[in-house]
A and B are shown apart, each in its own frame.
Chain A
Amino acid sequence: MAIINQATKELQVKIVYYGPAMGGKTTNLVQVHDHVQTTAGNKGKLVSLATSSDRTLFFDFLPIEAMTIKGFKTKFQLYTVPGQVIYNTTRQLVLRGVDGIVFVADSQYEKMQENVESFQNLMDNLSSLKQNFAEIPYVLQYNKRDLPNAAPVEYLDFLLNNRDTQVPSFSATAHKCEGVFESLNMITRLLLQKFVNQSVPQYA
């Protein structure tokens, strides 16, 4: 869970990009890293623990210091998880202490099963960490909208956003930085609003 350090006046939150392999999670972080407007020194290095073929092995990590809210420096730590099925233990480790999730789905028709399985895997992993999925803010990002075999957004909504409470979803073409900041700002809004609405914050 997020850390609010009253001594140093810092608010630190952790956002994890989750989704099937090759869906564009790392691309999201690369685009944020390349295009985010920050004052000098407020953007950390993008750290990628990847294989030689650029597949995420452990996680990607990008720390960014955003605006100051009422005197509190807000520090965002953005992580991705490895999407490949075999790295499930690693995904559980990265999910520890998560505050908000961006689920990056691959819009291609042939990836639908992987999308659904990855989403189910996310719920299973949060459950194994004793975190209540219903209490963690998340948004859906339908990536790769520029591909000719992209399924309609309505179909993706039907598969992934068909619960009692629908969450915000965004069409994206991450490699062109389309939909990237929209997703990030929305998850930021949701998780900060969640903190505000908590009568008794769970952490400090």
Chain B
Amino acid sequence: MATLPQLIEEDIRHLDKTLRDFIAKADAMVALIIDKGGFLITHAGDAGDFDLTTIGALASGAFMANQTIAGLVNEPNFNSIYQQGEKTSVLAANVDENCILIVIFKAQTGVGVVKYFIPTAVKRIAKQMVAAHKRNPDGGLDLSVMNLADTEGVFRKKEA
């Protein structure tokens, strides 16, 4: 299975800038880049009391489920899902094989403006991912520097 490239600080800085630019233009509240496995990669905007970790996991599941439905009805052109709310709406757009861009915006903003600006943001994010991959195609962190010999206590049960 294809996996995310190694992202370094420079990548995250570029991605964050892309998200900030997009939020300003589209008048969105928060934008998140998530991995299709459900991991939150980075985000920008005012998250307020939103639980972005959980939103990322659920949005990934919802997006992948809809993509599967699209496949079942022979629809090859599936790029986004839109949840329209009374106060807050959510749009999830495919970035590449590994990532999804999630946008949370006020319902009064209207999805049109978000949809208008999102292709540019998606292209910039995808381009950064390609650049990261090219920089180090087999890259990763050397975890051997970590001391993982004792993991017994990673999860401890509370005393009764």
Binding site for B on A (CB under 8 A): 1, 3-8, 12, 14, 32, 35-37, 44-45, 47, 49, 58-59, 61, 63-64, 66-67, 69-70, 72, 74-75, 77, 79, 89-90, 93-94, 96-98, 129-131, 177, 180-181, 184-185, 188-189, 192-193, 195-196, 198, 200-204
Contacts and interface: CB of A to CB of B under 8 A. Distances in A.
B19 to A, nearest CB: 14
Size class of the B contact interface (CB-based, 8 Å) = 35 or more
Contacts of B7: 5-7, 204
Give the 4 A-B CB pairs with smallest separation, nearest first: A97-B37, A204-B6, A201-B140, A7-B12
Interface string B43-62: 00000000101100110010
Contact of B140 (A32, A72, A204): A204
A33 to B, nearest CB: 11
B58 to A, nearest CB: 7
20 contacts: A4-B141, A4-B143, A6-B8, A7-B11, A12-B39, A35-B157, A37-B156, A44-B54, A45-B54, A58-B61, A61-B58, A67-B154, A69-B148, A74-B154, A96-B38, A181-B155, A181-B157, A189-B151, A200-B140, A202-B3
A146 B141 CA distance: 44
Contact of B148 (A7, A59, A196): A196
Contacts of B54: 44-45, 47, 61, 63
Contacts of B41: 3, 5
A204 B141 contact: yes
Contact of B147 (A49, A70, A75, A184): A70
Interface string B1-34: 1011111110111000000000000000000000
A117 to B, nearest CB: 22
Contacts of A5: 7, 12, 41
A-side interface mostly: mixed
A36 B157 contact: yes
B152 interface: yes
A93 B59 CA distance: 12
